[in-house]
Chains A and B, each alone.
Chain A
Amino acid sequence: MRQLVIALLLVLLGGSFNAACAGEAQPLAENPATEKRLIAISTELRCLVCQNESLAGSHAELANDLRREIRTLIDAGKSDDEIMEFMVSRYGDFVRYRPPLKGTTLLLWFGPGVLFVLGFAALLRYLRRRDRAITDSPLSAAEHLQAEALLHDNDSRQGRS
């Protein structure tokens, strides 16, 4: 996770360096504190264009716009919660990689746990039942002798009598 953040930071800084070389006025990494918060916030957000990428890692046009918007909000002194609210009010809970716990997300949060418990219970039930199905039937004296004879026979054939 930490390496990822560092890598992202490098990518962003690299981008700003290139931009600076090309003589452009992009305010990337102008303020390290802003950039740090931007990365922290945008790794929590989903890019709506490439839905499996975070807003921090996406190169989509919209992701650029949204990062710019978040940067503006940070510079305007908004708190992280207010910025989250800004995004959620426009794009819905779907933009958050960690959606809030509420009625519609209960299944999302607890579904896997419930499935696990159900599966585990089913497994236990199955194993117990199987245990009961195996009836303990000890060998009779004749069978015992027969088994011993077979084992002995086997041993002697392998030359280890």
Chain B
Amino acid sequence: MNRFLWPLVGFIVLVVLLGVGLTLNPRDVPSPLVGKPAPAFSLPRLHAPEEQFSPRDMLGKVWLLNVWASWCVSCRQEHPLLVELAKRHSAPLVGLNYKEVRGDAAIDIDKVAPDSEKGMVIERAGAWLSAHGDPYTLSVLDIDGRVGIDYGVYGVPETYVIDKAGIIRMKHTGPITPDALSSTILPLIAELSK
């Protein structure tokens, strides 16, 4: 009996560990930015390109920053949820349009004239929001993806919850699921808004 007990225990421990490993998401890399101030930027707005938006404008509010692009397939998947979220008016939702033109694998950026890229970005992003609904309080244009690097973006869509003091409180990588929204994001917004 004892002869088989320890190998059996070892086997069960291994199975449990591997089982837990299967439920983990290797894409979910913990962000070092959580608990730190949201990196500063100043970017043109999609619907008012002559105006700039900066995270400083949102001080005193709990808000969400959602990274999206029209070429991003998962963004389409999460979009209805964002539209739903916007209807609740629980927090302002700012869209960071990430590399709208040069991130699109179908476009060879070297064939795009540098001065026409911004126009293309505005046209494509605007058309996509008209077609699928615009949940964003406002969207800003990160044409070359530099701001995305400052925010540690590595897989669009990504969503950040930022508190009244401008501190990033949460980062969600990948499309928001109804479950993540109701069990994590909304309670966090409610708590931070107190």
B141-156 interface with A by 8 A CB criterion: 145-146, 149-152, 154-155
Contacts A24-B110, A65-B145, A66-B149 given; indicate if A92 touches B103 (C-beta within 8 A): no
B29 within 8 A of A: yes
Chain A residues lying within 8 Å of B152, measured Cβ to Cβ, are 90-92
Chain B residues lying within 8 Å of A24, measured Cβ to Cβ, are 110
19 additional contacts, CB 8 Å, given A48-B155, A69-B146, A90-B151? A22-B110, A48-B29, A48-B154, A49-B154, A51-B26, A51-B27, A61-B103, A61-B105, A66-B149, A88-B32, A89-B33, A90-B32, A90-B33, A90-B152, A91-B31, A91-B32, A92-B30, A92-B152, A94-B30
Contact between B149 and A65, CB atoms less than 8 A apart: yes
Interface of A is mostly: helix
Contacts A51-B26, A61-B103 given; indicate if A89 touches B32 (C-beta within 8 A): yes
The residue in chain A whose Cβ has the minimal distance to the Cβ of B10 is: A122
A62 within 8 A of B: yes
The residue in chain A whose Cβ has the minimal distance to the Cβ of B153 is: A62
Contact between B155 and A90, CB atoms less than 8 A apart: no
The residue in chain A whose Cβ has the minimal distance to the Cβ of B32 is: A92
* Cα-based distance from A49 to B145 in the complex (angstroms): 15
- CB A58 to nearest CB in B, in angstroms, measures 11
Count CB-based A-B contacts (< 8 Å): 40
**Interface size range of chain B in the complex:** 10 to 19
* Cα-based distance from A4 to B32 in the complex (angstroms): 31
The residue in chain B whose Cβ has the minimal distance to the Cβ of A47 is: B154
Chain A residues lying within 8 Å of B146, measured Cβ to Cβ, are 69
Contact between A69 and B149, CB atoms less than 8 A apart: yes
Contact between A90 and B150, CB atoms less than 8 A apart: yes
- CB A37 to nearest CB in B, in angstroms, measures 19
Name 20 A/B residue pairs within 8 A (Cβ), A-sorted: A24-B110, A48-B154, A49-B155, A51-B26, A61-B103, A62-B154, A65-B149, A66-B149, A69-B146, A88-B32, A90-B149, A90-B150, A91-B29, A91-B32, A92-B29, A92-B31, A92-B32, A92-B152, A93-B32, A94-B29
Chain B residues lying within 8 Å of A62, measured Cβ to Cβ, are 154
The residue in chain A whose Cβ has the minimal distance to the Cβ of B105 is: A61
A86-109 interface with B by 8 A CB criterion: 88-94
* Cα-based distance from A21 to B33 in the complex (angstroms): 41
* Cα-based distance from A55 to B66 in the complex (angstroms): 26
B6-26 interface with A by 8 A CB criterion: 26
Chain B residues lying within 8 Å of A48, measured Cβ to Cβ, are 29, 154-155
